[in-house]
Chain A
Amino acid sequence: GIQVEQSPPDLILQEGANSTLRCNFSDSVNNLQWFHQNPWGQLINLFYIPSGTKQNGRLSATTVATERYSLLYISSSQTTDSGVYFCAVEGQGAQKLVFGQGTRLTINP
């Protein structure tokens, strides 16, 4: 099945810093989503981005489907950005999201 690899596994930054999270995947995808999991376990949708670039406030994402990777950018980080960020993909012909191991982001004041 399709493999998803996220890097880095952990990232610690000061408030105000910028960060880039990476997601590599092993095959063509129909769907790619970025989520933020809050401390209570809720998965919050950030982007649905199987290809192209999207921006939402301080967050933006780019997926280069031909090279099988996606990047999530967080600018001017705030302490509320802390948590685990997951990339999940759905391979062609498969109706299920396969999740990466996540990147744990800690923003210190």
Chain B
Amino acid sequence: ETGVTQTPRHLVMGMTNKKSLKCEQHLGHNAMYWYKQSAKKPLELMFVYNFKEQTENNSVPSRFSPECPNSSHLFLHLHTLQPEDSALYLCASSIGLEQFFGPGTRLTVL
């Protein structure tokens, strides 16, 4: 238990669906991150939020839309995804340099 929770843990969706991933941290951190882990690629950063403001978008397609309403919550809104978007999506948080990760959401796009 790292203090970072993610829901749902598993998600199967069609290409025309809209869904959202949720991340919550109970550590008092001020930065939150989305990472993607695909089968054939290393873990890669998607977005960074500091004090609710987006400070990094790592060239992520617009079908992924992040939202950070406060420093404890982070969402990833998904729409019109492609099968190649199937992956493990990991949320992390930090207050200094050390990042702590949630358990991930395993997403399958049919």
Contacts and interface: CB of A to CB of B under 8 A. Distances in A.
B99 interface: yes
Interface string A75-109: 00000000000101010000111111110000000
Interface residues of B, number: 25
A95 B48 contact: yes
B17 interface: no
A64 interface: no
B90 A99 contact: no
Given A96-B48, A96-B58, A45 B98 contact: yes
A42 B101 contact: yes
A13 B26 CA distance: 38
Given A31-B97, A33-B98, A95-B48, A41 B104 contact: yes
A48 B97 CA distance: 9
Interface residues of A, number: 23
Interface string B1-45: 010000000000000000000000000000101010100001111
A55 to B, nearest CB: 17
Interface of A: 30-31, 33, 35, 40-45, 48, 50, 86, 88, 90, 95-102
13 contacts: A31-B97, A40-B103, A44-B2, A45-B2, A86-B43, A95-B31, A96-B33, A96-B48, A96-B56, A97-B99, A99-B42, A99-B44, A100-B42
